[in-house]
Structure 1
Amino acid sequence: MPTAFTTSVLHITTGTTETVTDLTSDCEQFLTRTAAGRDGLLNIFVPHATAGIAVLETGAGSDDDLLSALHALLPADDRWQHRHGSPGHGRDHVLPAFVPPHATLPVIAGRLELGTWQSVCLVDTNVDNADRQVRLSFLG
């Protein structure tokens, strides 16, 4: 019987601009190696205080719309008490309250069950830290 729990870490470089990075193909490749046609759950977790995981449409402007909405909700200005790093960096530490650092998604017959236009994305507004880790864990 295959192992019931398997985990792996992705190393992602997000660059020096705020970004939404599509991780869907990375998740699918991980499941191809580990899920072997089984049903279960995929947990995606980013162990950073300034990044999150979102399930949303990409490529049609929704990723840019998300970043715009975050700018409106969390402006990069001097209102934040958390003040180290780039101006407005305190907002990045509030981001996980709006875009959580995790998502748990169903896996059916070894395949990620997403809606037609859904993608799994890393949301990173912290321009001071471009090196990110994303832990993928399959339980099934």
Structure 2
Amino acid sequence: MIKHLSIDVPGQGLHEITDRIQAAVHEAGIKEGLCTLFVQHTSASLLIQENADPAVRRDLEHWFNRLVPENDPLYTHQNEGPDDMPGHIKSALTATHLSIPVAGGRLALGTWQGIYLWEHRRSRGARRIVVHLGA
């Protein structure tokens, strides 16, 4: 089964989507199998990360913003604003797809794990995620 999700994001940051993905697993009725996620964008990514302490997400965001700063004079692609090229680089350094086992009708995530859409741009909008569920 393939499902397309549209995720509205308020802007840059890690946005947890675990519940949306689990709902797609439930809707598909899959008990055992694999859930594959793919984000259809070049300046956003997917991440499995701790979902208990928000400081983890803040630290990741701050570290990546320091690693890939805006307005670097080496960037030549600047057509869409100062956060665009850093968004492409951050996406290249992380993942645009994830695979998560499904066991007992649930995502087989660890106790403190959540699935995040990592928006690398400051602007608001919707991001598209393809969810493939196979038994």
2:126 equivalent among 117, 122, 131: 131
1:73 equivalent among 55, 59, 67: 67
Q: Quote the Cα distance in structure 2 between the aligned partners of 1:83 and 1:129.
A: 19
Q: Quote the Cα distance in structure 2 between the aligned partners of 1:36 and 1:9.
A: 17
Conserved 8 A contact 1:20-1:124: yes
Conserved 8 A contact 1:7-1:135: yes
Conserved 8 A contact 2:38-2:96: yes
Q: Quote the Cα distance in structure 1 between the aligned partners of 2:101 and 2:29.
A: 12
Matched, 1:26 2:33: no
Deviation of the 1:109 alpha carbon: 2.0
1:44 equivalent among 37, 46, 53: 37
Q: Of Structure 1 and Structure 2, which has the larger fraction of its residues in strand? A: 2
2:56 equivalent among 39, 53, 62: 62
Q: Quote the Cα distance in structure 2 between the aligned partners of 1:88 and 1:49.
A: 12
Deviation of the 1:35 alpha carbon: 3.3
Q: Secondary structure of 2:88's match?
A: helix
Encode CA deviations 1:3-22: one digit per residue, 9 max, x unaligned. xxx1111111112x311110
1:3 maps to none
Show structure 1 runs of 5+ residues with no match.
1-5
Q: Quote the Cα distance in structure 1 between the aligned partners of 2:30 and 2:128.
A: 24
Deviation of the 1:59 alpha carbon: 4.5
Q: Secondary structure of 1:70's match?
A: helix
**What RMSD in Å do the two structures reach over aligned CA positions?**
1.4
User: Which AA in structure 2 matches 1:52?
Assistant: S
1:97 maps to 92
Show structure 2 runs of 5+ residues with no match.
none
Matched, 1:10 2:5: yes
Deviation of the 1:127 alpha carbon: 2.1
Deviation of the 1:29 alpha carbon: 0.6
Q: Quote the Cα distance in structure 2 between the aligned partners of 1:133 and 1:82.
A: 23
Q: Secondary structure of 1:100's match?
A: coil
Percent of matched pairs sharing the same residue: 24
Matched, 1:86 2:81: yes
Encode CA deviations 1:70-129: one digit per residue, 9 max, x unaligned. 101111123322111122421111122212111001111211000110000000111246
Q: Secondary structure of 1:114's match?
A: coil
